[in-house]
Each structure stands twice: as C-alpha cells, then as structure tokens.
Amino acid sequence: MPQKGIGTSAAQTLFKNNFLQAIVAASGSRYWGYVVGGTTPAAIVGDWLTTVFDQNPQNADGIGDISALIELDTIKMLLQLFGLPSTFNGGFVAGATISNFNCLAVARQWYGKMYNIDIAKDAIPPGNTVYAAVPHSSILKSLSMLGLGSNNLTLVGNLAQ
C-alpha cells in the first residue's frame, strides 16, 4: 500500500487498464444470471442519494437518522404493491448470504422459544437437523456461523437422491 494515493485520474486509468475488460454486462433490467438488480435510472439516483447522504441506520424512533424510517415506509409501499397484510414486517439486507443468516437466526431463536431455551446463549441441543430442498450456497456458511453446525443440513426431495 503506497503512502500516498494515486489520485482520481490515475485511479480511473488503472481501473480501465486492469479491470474494465472483465466487467460482466449486467447493467440491464432484463439480466437474470446473477441477481444484482438492473441498473435503471431510478436505481442510479437511489445509489447517488445513498452515497451523498451516507447515513448510518440506527433505529426507527427518530433518534439517530432518517434511514430506518425510510426503510419502514418503503416496506409499507411494498406491502401495498404485493397485497401483503400490514402486520408483516421485515427489513432490507445486502444479499442472499445475510438474508439466509438472518432467517436462520430467527428460526433458531423461535425453535428455542418453543422448548424454553435461549439457543443464542445456551446452544442448540444435539440431534437437531436443518432440512432443505434446494439450499443456497450461503446456507452452510450461515449454519456454521450461527453454531447450528454445517453437518446438520439434510437434503430432502429430488436433491437427496
């Protein structure tokens, strides 16, 4: 790592010479190969606003910044768009890995509540299995990080054969 940066122009040249040719053409809204979202004018403006205001979401009660309130309002609009009940609540995450991690963490705690165990503190009892038909590649990593054990995944359905 150099002591001093190379500057904007040199960084752009470095990017052009070393990386630009390897960029995947995923900038259209009809690209389905790896779901990163299409680059639409609205998405670009959203990215600009996110970068310009650089907020750190903290909570939804008005203390901190407005990010949490924007997220909750956006969830309400999506509930209306998809006709989901207003009692549904959720949140946005960066992608599949953290989404699966969060869902498994919630499932872990729900399971523990059913048996009066705080699994985050006391661990999951031995002999428990997680079943999946078509697990995302992040599931094994998430099971491992949550202390559920990546060896406790059992495939069901056609993949199990």
Q: Could you report the per-residue pLDDT of 53-96, keeping only the tens digit for each?
A: 877 766 656 565 677 777 888 889 989 998 988 887 777 887 78
Q: The whole model's pTM is what?
A: 0.55
CA dist 161 and 137 (Å) reads: 19
Task: Pick the closest to residue 154 from 136, 130, 126 (CA basis).
Answer: 130
Phi/psi of residue 58, each to 5°? -125, -55
For residue 111, what are the domain limits? 96-160
Amino acid 16: pLDDT: 92
Do both 107 and 148 map to the same domain? yes
Question: Which position has the token pair 């990017």?
Answer: 15
CB-count exposure of residue 119 (10 Å: 0-12, 13-18, 19+): buried
Whether residue 81 sits in one domain with residue 28: no
100 with 147, same domain? yes
Do the domain assignments include residue 108?
yes
The stretches in the chain having pLDDT less than 50 are none
Q: Is residue 50 a part of any domain in this protein?
A: no
The total domain count for the chain is 3
Residues 112, 144 within the same domain: yes
| 49 domain residue, yes or no | no
Give the pLDDT of residue 158.
Answer: 67
